[in-house]
Structure 1
C-alpha cells in the first residue's frame, strides 16, 4: 500500500511538472520532514504531532491512514506519517504560488499552512520555509532517516 501511495505521489508530481521519480519524491518528503522538526521522531505531540508535525484535522483530511493505531501513533510513526502526507497531497494538491504547476514547493506550503492558507505570504517568512529551501537546495545532507 505504501509503495502504491508513493508511486501515486510521484506520478502526481511528474504530471504537474513538479518532480520526476522516486528520488525526487523522497527528497520532497524528507525536506518537508526536515523543515518541520529536522525529522525528530520524538517531536512533541500537542496540537501537532510527530516528525512532520501533523494535526488531527490534517490526518482526518488525508483519510485517516493507519486508523487502526490512531492519530497520535500514526503521526509519530515515520512511515504512517509519510503515508498521511502523501494522501493529503494527492487529495488536496494546490498550486499555492500560482505558477501553473503543483510542485514540491506547493506541497511544502500546503503542509505548513493548509490547502486554503498556502497562498498566504507569511509562510515564506517562517523558519520552516527557510529550512525547506535550504534542504531542497542541497544545503542539508540527510541520512537514510531524513535527518
Structure 2
C-alpha cells in the first residue's frame, strides 16, 4: 500500500510540474510578443523572394518616384509598418524613411512589421503564407485580394516572385493571378 501511495504522490507532482511548465511557456510566449508567432511563413526565403520580385533585390536601387530600396517600399507602407528606422535615427527626420528603406536589414524590418499588421489570406486558399505576403506587399494590405497580373508591373512582379519560389508561372495553383473570392 505504501508503494501505491508513493506512486500517487509522484504522479500528482508530475502533473503539477507539467502544469507549471505549460504556464511558464504561455508567459514566455506572451512576453515575447505575439508578433513572433503571427508570421511563421515570413522567413528569410520569403523575404528574399519579395525582394527579388520587387527590384531583383537590387540593394543599390535607391529611390525611384515614390518607392525606395530593394523592396520598393513607399512612405505610406513605411508608416503602416510603424515607421521603423536605422539604429539611433529619428522617425520624424525627413530622410529616415528613405534611409531605412535602402538598407536591406532595415527594409526587411519594414516589410516584416507591415505583414505583422496587415497579414491575411489574400488568395483565398485558407492559409496565410508567403504567397499572401507577396500579394499584400505588391498590392497593399487593404487590396491584397486583387490579382497580381492585372497590370504590367504586377505581371513582372509575379513572374520574378514565382521564379524565386521555384514555381511555374503558367501553372498558378496558388491563385496569385486571380482575385480571391
Q: TM-score if structure 1 supplies the norm length?
A: 0.76
Matched, 1:42 2:64: no
Is residue 2:122 matched to residue 1:96? yes
2:78 and 2:67 map into 1 onto residues whose CA distance is: 10
- The runs of 4+ residues in structure 1 deviating greater than 6 Å are none
Matches within 5 A, 1:108-147: 108-121=134-147, 123-124=148-149, 126-137=155-166
Structure 2 stretches lacking a partner, 5+ long: 1-31, 169-181
Contact 1:49 1:55 survives alignment (8 Å): yes
Specify the alignment match of 1:76 in structure 2. Answer: 102
Shift of 1:137: 1.2
Q: Does residue 52 in structure 1 map to residue 46 in structure 2?
A: no
1:63 maps onto 2:108 in alignment: no
Equivalent position of 2:7 in the other structure: none
Contact persistence 1:95–1:102 (CA under 8 A) = yes
Q: Distance in 1 between the 2:133 and 2:163 partners? A: 16
Relative contact order higher in (CA < 8 Å, ≥ 6 apart): 1
- Bigger Cα Rg: 2
Unmatched tracts of structure 1, length 5 or more:
140-147
Between the two proteins, the alignment pairs up a number of residues equal to 124
